[in-house]
Amino acid sequence: MQVNMMIKQILGRLPRVKPSKTEATAGPGGDPLTSSGATVNPAKMVPTQGNLGLFKGPLDNGYSDMLSSVLAPSLLANHVPLVPCTVAENYLSFYYEPLPLFRDVPSSARSNLFIRKLHLCTVVFDFTDSTKFVKEKDIKRQTLHELADFISSSNVSFSDVMVEEITKMVAANIFRSLPPSLHENPVMETLDLDEDEPAMEPAWSHLQIVYEFFLRFIMSTEMDPKIGKRHIDHFFVLKLLDLFDSEDSREREYLKSILHRIYGKFMVHRPFIRKAINNIFYRFIFETERHNGILELLEILGSIVNGFALPLKEEHKLFLVRALIPLHKPKCLSVYHRQLSYCITMFVEKDLKLADTVIRGLLKYWPVTNSHKELLFLNELEEILEATQPAEFQRCMVPLFRQIGRCLNSPHFQVAERALFFWNNDHIVSLATQNRSVVLPIIYHALEKNTRGHWNQAVHSLTLNARKMFLEMDQELFQECKRRFEEEEEKAKLAQERRELTWQRLEAVASQSMSSQTVMVQN
């Protein structure tokens, strides 16, 4: 008890520190509150006159350098404190002023001015209200144009500090949370959103210049990859990949160009980029089936696959089997099918032994009720068969022509017509001719069925042409197939007659049983 009393007396003699205004009005998590009680992000601060002392927090993370180069030096010299932007928007308008042009300063000062301009462009404005900060937005837009032109027109040697500030400025502007898509709203799933215009980024007038500036920076021969890879790291690449889900196609085009250049310039990042794209594909295929940037990512991969060295690594073959082939599964295949087909065809051309794997993969995901997807599959299948060699063709020809036979008998005339067009391809005809003893018996039934009763006249004519071709190819085999077909048809007819006779007998027995039960009840 005496010890506790002594401690209390000692603590009571210590001077009490009066809490600051910021601390007294702290919100949840320690964030300061505005006069209206709203929580404020302490990273968005501007100077104002008031009590002495500087705000502790964001300044320790590099913001003090930004403020010292952008805002009035007299304020920082007098230790003017910082307050939330929402409270002091007028102060931002007063202190956000343009910096001198590069041509107006000596060459020795341009690097420092370049960094100061980058700091100025780190401020992000809200474009949902076009009436706010009109002058400041225009200043930032002009400054971004100056930075982009300076990189293109000058032989700038980018130091480590400059590269760091460039990535900070770019990250501050483009890395953001994307608005939720209408397709993610379960209430909107019942509506037809295919005709709706995609959401356009309201801040595109600034974002476009930031993307153009960063693209020119990545393409610059003066940028040393050894320095760049320290700041354009794995985290930066992942944030770039997240932006591919943007609904704005203009933004996705810039992202495609930038990521492609990063892949080409930073060899150390290549395995990571491929793995990260794989993960996006896996989530799209097996979880969401919703992503806006699959087309652009496949365009990048088409160039990457084209540059793969031979022989192909096992990692690349697994990527084909686990990611590219399953991309045929989603309903929205038509959006990116051309790019996907190009990637798969490139794999087959680089390693001819993969043709069997690809064809069997297509057969695995072959659509049953979607005729439009069936047409896409047939188009891709023809491209793959053109690159297929006889040895690989023989491994998959039985399941392949069973599926083609089903397509020949499709009630959708475009599917049947597209399957019959295979016989206009010389390479496919050559493969079928070499293996006609296997191919013709499989599809003869489908050809004969179309000849006797397909409703579409064009399909009927094409079937007759294909039938004539096989007849001229091997008349003896054709007659043998015809004989077998007629035998099977006769057997099927006899089986049907026996089945009908059996049902007649069952009906007779049932009627006799019912009549006998009726007599017993009457008695």
Task: Give 377-397 as a DSSP string.
Answer: HHHHHHHHHHT--HHHHHHHH
Average pLDDT over residues 423-427: 94
The predicted pLDDT at position 515 comes to 75
CB neighbourhood size of 181 (10 A)? 17
Q: How far is CA 522 from CA 7, 231, 515, 518, in A?
A: 111, 100, 11, 6
The predicted pLDDT at position 519 comes to 59
Tokens of 249: 């196609």
pLDDT exceeds 70 at position 90: no
pLDDT exceeds 90 at position 522: no
Confidence of residue 201 (pLDDT cuts 50, 70, 90): confident
The predicted pLDDT at position 96 comes to 76
The predicted pLDDT at position 76 comes to 37
Which tens digit of pLDDT belongs to each residue from 471-487? 999 999 999 999 998 89
The predicted pLDDT at position 283 comes to 96
Who wins on pLDDT, 69 or 322? Answer: 322
Question: What is the percent of the chain where pLDDT is above 90?
Answer: 61
The predicted pLDDT at position 155 comes to 77
Is the peptide bond between 441 and the residue preceding it cis, with omega within 30 degrees of 0? no
The predicted pLDDT at position 22 comes to 39
Give the whole-angstrom CA distance, residue 335 versus residue 298: 11
Give the whole-angstrom CA distance, residue 48 versus residue 500: 97
**Phi first, then psi: what are they for 470, rounded to 5°?**
-65, -35
pLDDT exceeds 60 at position 55: no
Tokens of 402: 């069973």
pLDDT exceeds 70 at position 332: yes
Average pLDDT over residues 152-165: 88
349 in Cβ contact with 309 (< 8 Å):
no
CB neighbourhood size of 516 (10 A)? 10
The predicted pLDDT at position 16 comes to 55
Can you say whether the dihedral through the CA atoms of 215, 217, 220, 221 is positive or negative?
negative
Tokens of 300: 């990048």
Average pLDDT over residues 443-471: 91
The predicted pLDDT at position 184 comes to 52
pLDDT exceeds 60 at position 145: yes
Average pLDDT over residues 26-51: 36
Q: Specify which of 33-42, 85-94, 512-521 reaches the highest per-range mean pLDDT.
A: 512-521
pLDDT exceeds 80 at position 281: yes
The predicted pLDDT at position 381 comes to 96
116 in Cβ contact with 69 (< 8 Å):
yes
The predicted pLDDT at position 65 comes to 43
The candidate with the shortest Cα–Cα distance to 387, out of 418, 416, 359, is 359
Average pLDDT over residues 69-98: 46
Which tens digit of pLDDT belongs to each residue from 210-267? 999 999 999 999 899 999 999 999 999 999 999 999 999 999 999 999 999 999 999 9
DSSP summary character for residue 271: H
Average pLDDT over residues 2-10: 57
**Phi first, then psi: what are they for 203, rounded to 5°?**
-90, 20
Who wins on pLDDT, 73 or 364? Answer: 364
The candidate with the shortest Cα–Cα distance to 71, out of 96, 102, 101, is 96
pLDDT exceeds 60 at position 81: no
At residue 33, the 3 state secondary structure works out as strand
66 in Cβ contact with 100 (< 8 Å):
no
pLDDT exceeds 50 at position 85: no
State the amino acid at position 451 in one-letter form.
T
**Phi first, then psi: what are they for 356, rounded to 5°?**
-60, -45
The predicted pLDDT at position 408 comes to 94
HSE-CB for 194 with a 13 A CA cutoff: 4
67 in Cβ contact with 59 (< 8 Å):
yes
